[in-house]
Amino acid sequence: MVSIYDFKFKNRKGEEVSFGDFKGKVVLIVNTATGCGFTPQYEGLEKLYGEYHDKGFEILDFPCNQFGHQAPGTEDEIHEFCTAKYKTTFDQLAKVEVNGDEADPLWVFLKSEISEDTEPKGMKNKLAMKAISKMPGVSKEKGFIKWNFTKFLVDRDGKVVGRFGPTDVPAEFEEKIKELI
């Protein structure tokens, strides 16, 4: 049986990292983009990281240029943007694709564990997701990532316990993180 701890990925310098390095930690995995309307979520992500990192919480930030080409820079340019504009202290990793034939194996696994985002809350968020679903290149297939800032929450035992959509801001699932810490 495949475990999340079997996966490896690249950091922004191109070095291989094992998910096994995060055993025993609560991990939030996010596909991000610096030119997206959801990019201000970096503020909330950094707030969570600052609050819970010392208690065993990690954020794995995977830039993804697959949706509207909204992460066009290099990994270092993306990192500089995030640290300068949003004062992030968690690192950004190497860019990945999350859908399609070139999808990163970790993301294929995550989607197989929880195949749908949470239902958007509020009319504004529902309308935003409806508009996104009509954009060119957005997959209608079950399980596919719909847009940037889809988030997966992994507990200390390596079980994927939550999938949050692009409109779910970090404060909305902070309680779930607190429960897992």
Active-site residue list? 36
* Residue among 67, 134, 59 nearest 100 (CA): 67
CA distance 95 to 64: 5
CA distance 122 to 174: 18
CA distance 4 to 160: 8
CA distance 156 to 60: 15
Query: Using a CB cutoff of 8 Å and minimum separation of 24, what contacts does 137-144 make?
Result: 137/66, 137/67, 138/67, 139/99, 139/100, 142/115, 142/116, 143/111, 143/112, 143/115, 143/116, 144/99, 144/111
